[in-house]
Amino acid sequence: MSTLAAMLLLLVTCFTISTSEGASSASRKCEDSLVTPLPNKFFHGSSEYGRGYGAAFAKLNRIQGAGGWSPLDTDRYQWLQVDLGSRKQVVSIATQGRHRSSDWTSQYRLLYSDTPNNWRPYLKDGNIWTFKGNNNSDNVVREDLQHAIVARYIRFIPLHWSQKGRIGLRLELYGCSHWADVISFDGHSIISYRFRSKKMKTLKDVISLKLKTTARDGVLLYGEGQQGDYILLELRRATMKLSINLGSSQYNLIQGHTSVTSGSLLDDGHWHSVVIERYRRNINFTLDHHTHQFRTNGEFEHLDLDYELTFGGLSESAKMSFGGKENFVGCMEGITYNGDNITNLVRRKKVDTSSFRNLTFTCAESSSFPVYFNSTSLLRLPGQRDSDVLSVSLSFRTWNPSGVLMFTQLAKGWLELGLIDGKVTVYINVTQKRSTHIDISSGLGLNDGQWHSVHLNALDNYAMLTVDGDEASTVRTAIPAQIKTGGTYYFGGYVSHTDSRSLQRSFQGCIQMIHIDDHLVDLQALEEGHIGTFENVSLDMCAIIDRCVPNHCEHGGKCSQTWDTFSCNCSGTGYSGATCHTSLFQQSCEEYKHQGKSSGSFWIDPDGSGTISPFRIHCDMTAMDWTILRNNLSPEMSVSAVDKDGKAVIQINYNITEEQVLSVTSRAERCEQYVAYTCRMSRLLNSPDGSPFTWWVGRDNKRHFYWGGSGPGIQKCACGIENNCTSSKHYCNCDADLRTWKEDAGLLVYKDHLPVNKVVVGDTSRAGSEGKLTVGPLKCKGDRNFWNAASFTSPASSLHFKSFRSETSTDISFYFKTSSNHGVLLENLGASNFLHIEIRGGSMVLLSFDFGRNRMELTVHSPKPLNDDQWHRVEAEKNIKEAVLQLDGQYREVKATPPLGHTELEFYSDLYIGALSGQRGFLGCMRALKINGIFFNLEERAKVTPGVKPGCQGHCSSYNMHCRNGGKCVEQYNGYSCDCSLSAYDGPFCTDDVGGYFEAGTLVRYDFLTDHGASLLGDPRSFSDVGNLVNLTQEELVFSFSTYSAPSILVYISSRSQDYMAVVLRHNGSLQVRYSLGGLAEPYTIDIDHRNMANGQPHSVNITRNLRKIQLQLDHYTTSTYMLPKASETQFNLVKSIFLGKVFETGQIDPILIERYNSPGFVGCLSRVQLNNVAPLKAALRSGMKAPVSILGILVQSNCGASPLTIPPIQPANDIWQIDAGSALFSFKDEKIGADAVHHNLAVIGGTISLVILSVLCILVFVIRHMFRHKGSYHTNEAKGAESANCADAAIIVNDPAFTETIDESKKEWFI
């Protein structure tokens, strides 16, 4: 069963279980009025404006009294509190203003609790939620809660109110009763749930409970089995940790232990819910509505437990292996295990509770009274005045690294206790005699959101600071003078000594357990106004929020936070952006090719922002644009080791996951893999009728019994298909079982079976049997998704796709081209969510979408027109932090998204590519549409949609500029290609040099035949046709060369008359161009005397003639212009041949050329030679080209004569797209070499070169001659016609070499 199928089954199973449990509650709606039935004494307010304005008059639609509640003061310190009588489940809220008045509340916050203290704010989108209230006195505004809350006490905090009047409020809460058995744990008690049988072996489990605690550590659940299985749920530093082991193999060869963590700040004294759902190895771990899905390690699927499960702590037997773990302190309710209600069984005394000293079914109230500080908060408390002892202690929790915890003015000086870079620091300024500054610090990383205690004592000329009660790390320091207290203490900030009222380095977080002069401060008395004062603080509440839980940093990004926001560190992930959502890499070699990249190793990310991680492949851009996945098998690996069955099993490892391999093969047009088996007395397939000795295992772990060169369902090798096996009785050479070495080799081209993951060889255990196996790399060509396109021919047409869903991040990318200046590219019209992308004005792209209650718009302007019928790329992304719109990879706009609204599940309605009827539709083409890492098949949908056609012609109008050096763009259905036949270059974009190394005496001759010479020379305006012979009036000769030898002939163009053109190197290495077109007694020569060209460096030459005007450009120098004499003819008559390297011609030839330059011939490199549209050197080196070309001597392909680039290429170390082939680590960091090392190496090298340079020059000619002596071999695999096939099997394979259809090997019917 696949992972996805297992997950779906788990969800269905768990849904069924939860549905059966909640059937009774779901049978009725939870929408009872909770406030209306309450008596007046259950309502309380911070104050009341007068008689008739009290809290008891705040019931919805009531008009008694003054028609609602209004407090005496109109500020943010007012509140209205409702006691629901018992714990209730609240699902929605409705509010009104005060009846027939100008008093109402327009915005408010909601607090709730089980007790009248330790309030918890209602959170949504990871923030304290602000509810929208009323804008008049009597209309009812109702808001449903995203998640129901369970509480007895509800408190409303008005934030904004009527500008015409005062705060006014009437309300109603809707919900239902909440029934649950609560059990209190004191740290010594555990519940022992004994199984009905001694052992419990389960394939699926559902465990749920709710907990409330102020302790940050404690065991909640534990069970174990004698075979090593266990399950452990515990609190660790106020986070929830689940550890589970379904079993480990003997000697621990298979490790089954798995641990995951979830949540944080769980020691806040509020209820949290936990649900564990397991089906086999698939687990849903849900904490407070956030679900973490994972699979356990190992291969086992059952959880084997012995005797019992314990809740609240470890059993006695478990303490031996899990020593040091604390029992749980707090309350639990709703404990269930596989349908059994454990808490109910405890109440009925059906389980063992003997460890409880006092079993109670109530939850004790928390004694803590926290104070919540924001950036403008201040708490002022009194203390002893003029005392020579200062003692202050408190507990705090925060995310910010810095902030003032406490400040006090001394009688002479001041003292400040605060956080600096996560450390507690004390500054003391004593000014009795002279100003003296003293500072001490303790602790590290105290801004981790945990509670930390601080105790400061200053007395008898010394100060002492203790953090977290660790007396051993207490810091002491001497004070030069006795201090005297000032009597007033400021917490959370202080007002500067100047007249400014701004707070200095204010603290953001929570503070509790404040002690001044060794006495606990009664903060409840502070709330009632009996002691001290406060500004902008929230009493009896700690609303700290962990913005990194759940972690919004995707793809392994590391989250860090301050009080207000979070940030993601994406280094080393392969992704970028505010939430590490956007991949740094292209999806395939095809995309890299269209960025102009050359062959090399690259990281690719086929699904972009999806779940598949980037991985490294090799892209071969030289010929077929192959994506190459290499494996770990060496060529011709000897097959020796055999198992007990006499078979050798060879595993093939590609260093990437099966999912990553599938992402390459599924989108490729064609895949192939070379396999070869070299044998001596080792049979392969045991053909014709025997059971195969050897097979290979491909995708999905399936066996295949055919070999390279054959196909599925055909138990043959390549020789069996072509009827040329060693023995006519067998279909494989190896099956002849001969004592001499034989080989069966060929390509596996059925991509749905590839790659080869394992080969099992079964006939190597006999005496004398030997075998050698070769499995080449997996090679795939093309990218169907990149060219998947649709053409919109009607403005009323659109492609319709089903809805898609996004939660916190959505990304969209596609290419479009159009000649229209407007059009809707993509949109949906959801009931509450909206998405829209369109072109406006021919130069602007607009993105608009809903984000919670807000609608955002981003626009990008292009300096170039977008209606130019060229391809343009649009990339849009929205996430929890920002929205980004990018055009053509360079023009972009970024906007911060609102802090509220991101966690609402966005169920988009149907998606339309193009516009709906009645809007300005899109006319043009769109391709490569990808949303959230998923490609949309535009071509398939276009086939059944009127007004839309699959594919898009006209790719060359956008990509013609990629075909360089005279290459011609050729349209294809799913893209384009560059025809380099009329260019001296080669490669996918006609940018690869084609050149050769000439030894002494080597020449290349290209003849212009009389029947097609004109067509070879191209533009008819450049020649006159006389009896089908070519007469040129203009020509362009371009080539590059490098050599150390002179004199020599580089290029010679002959004719059937006495006309010729030659480019030679003279004895001194200078270049000379010779023209003889008739009319002159001597040839016209152009001498370039300023430099020696026979210096071994590459040089480029461009000679262009138009009638008498000759232009010559050498290397990067300025073009020089020359004129043929007036007596010279301007027509190059009857062009016959081009000679490279040497002249071997009959007839009359200029004797100077022969005598001075022709012997011994050119020695060196010539590259990219081209006369108009004729490339003679390329024709000589490409065996597949039919051309009248001949070679005399040894010609070795090489581009050593190519001229260097005038602009240096990007170094691989600085090129983010290209990875060094030698690197084996997944690292995206560049390495730098120290400058000192470079200078030292240069000095050593310079000294060495000065000693050996004479010797190197003497042997350099011989070294070059040796380097280019051997010519590379080239192999082609060309499909032969079906008419040449000798059997039906061969006809099938040669007709469809790609084998693109999936065929069951057991079937005899073929669908080709």
State the pLDDT at residue 140: 96
pLDDT (0 to 100) of residue 1010: 61
Q: Extract the tokens encoding 849.
A: 């979408």
Beta bridge partners of 272: 211
How many whole angstroms separate alpha carbon 723 and alpha carbon 735? 14
Q: How far apart are CA 570 and CA 576, in angstroms?
A: 6
Burial class (CB in 10 A: 0-12, 13-18, 19+), 1235: exposed
The number of beta carbons lying within 10 Å of the beta carbon of residue 181 is 17
Per-residue model confidence (pLDDT) at position 910: 78
CB atoms under 10 Å from CB of 1278, counted, come to: 6
Contact 1015, 1174 (CB under 8 A): no
**Average pLDDT over the chain, rounded to an integer:** 83
Q: Coil, helix or strand for 946? A: coil
pLDDT band at 701 (very low <50, low <70, confident <90, very high): confident
Would you state the pLDDT for residue 275?
A: 97
What percentage of the chain reaches a pLDDT higher than 70? Answer: 83
pLDDT for the residue 876: 93
> Exposure of 807 by Cβ count < 10 A (0-12 exposed, 13-18 middle, 19+ buried)?
exposed
Higher pLDDT, 957 or 1251: 957
pLDDT number for residue 1299: 41
Q: Which of 84-88, 307-311, 585-589, 955-959 has the lowest mean pLDDT?
A: 955-959
Beta-strand relationship, 32-33 and 844-851: unpaired
* Short-list 527, 532, 526, CA closest to 382: 532
The pair of three-digit structure tokens given for residue 1112, joined into one six-digit string: 């010559």
> Taking Cα atoms as reference points, which of 258, 257, 263, 264 lies closest to residue 275?
263
Q: What is the mean pLDDT of residues 386-413?
A: 93
Highest mean pLDDT among 156-160, 532-536, 1042-1046: 156-160
Q: What is the DSSP string of 767-785?
A: TT-EEEEEEEEEEEE--TT
Residue 44: CB atoms within 10 A of its CB come to 16
Contact 388, 484 (CB under 8 A): yes
CB 790 within 8 A of CB 926: yes
**Could you report the per-residue pLDDT of 359-396, keeping only the tens digit for each?**
889 888 878 899 999 888 999 999 999 999 999 999 99
More confidently predicted of 425 and 26: 425
Q: Which pLDDT value is given to residue 530?
A: 92
Task: Indicate if the pLDDT at residue 651 is higher than 70.
Answer: yes
**CA-based torsion, 355, 358, 361, 362: positive or negative:** negative
User: Peptide bond before 635: cis, by omega within 30 degrees of 0?
Assistant: no
What average pLDDT does this structure show over 734-749? 93
Query: Over the stretch 759-791, which tens digit does the pLDDT of each residue have?
Result: 999 888 888 899 999 999 999 998 999 989 999
Please determine, for residue 332, whether its predicted confidence score (pLDDT) is greater than 80.
Answer: yes
CA 317, CA 225: separation in Å to the nearest integer?
11
CA 1008 to chain centre: 56
Q: Minimal CA–CA distance to 454: which of 439, 465, 463?
A: 465
- The most confident of 154-168, 189-203, 551-565, by mean pLDDT: 154-168
Q: In whole angstroms, give the CA distance from residue 235 to residue 265.
A: 10
Confidence band for 665, pLDDT divided at 50, 70 and 90: very high
- Helical segments of 623-746, H only: 658-665, 718-722
Pick the more confident residue, 95 or 1088: 95
Do the Cβ atoms of 492 and 507 come closer than 8 Å?
Answer: yes
pLDDT tens figures, 1237-1274: 434 444 444 444 544 455 555 455 444 444 444 333 33
b/e code 19-38 from CB counts within 10 Å (16+ = b): eeeeeeeeeeebebebbeeb
Q: What is the DSSP string of 475-499?
A: EEEE-SS-----SEEEES--B-SSS
Residue 836's closest CA among 922, 934, 912?
Answer: 912
- The Cα 1006–Cα 1017 span in angstroms is 12
Taking Cα atoms as reference points, which of 226, 222, 221 lies closest to residue 201?
226
Is pLDDT larger for residue 1043 or for residue 1018?
1043
Q: How far apart are the first and last CA of the chain?
A: 30
Phi, psi of 1280 (to 5 degrees): -95, 155
Exposure string for 536-569, b = 16+ CB within 10 A, e = fewer: bbbbbbbbbbbbbbbebbbbebebebebeebbbe
**Which stretch of 8-12, 292-296, 1254-1258 has the lowest confidence by average pLDDT?**
8-12
pLDDT number for residue 4: 42
| pLDDT per position as a tens digit, 226-285 | 888 999 999 999 999 999 999 876 555 557 899 999 999 999 999 999 999 999 999 999
**Average pLDDT of 475-498?**
83
With pLDDT > 90 as the criterion, what percentage of the chain qualifies? 55
Residue labelled with tokens 């109402």: 104
pLDDT for residue 528:
87
Average pLDDT over residues 592-610: 89
Mean pLDDT calculated for residue range 154-161: 96
Lowest mean pLDDT, pick from 350-354, 651-655, 1166-1170, 1252-1256: 1252-1256
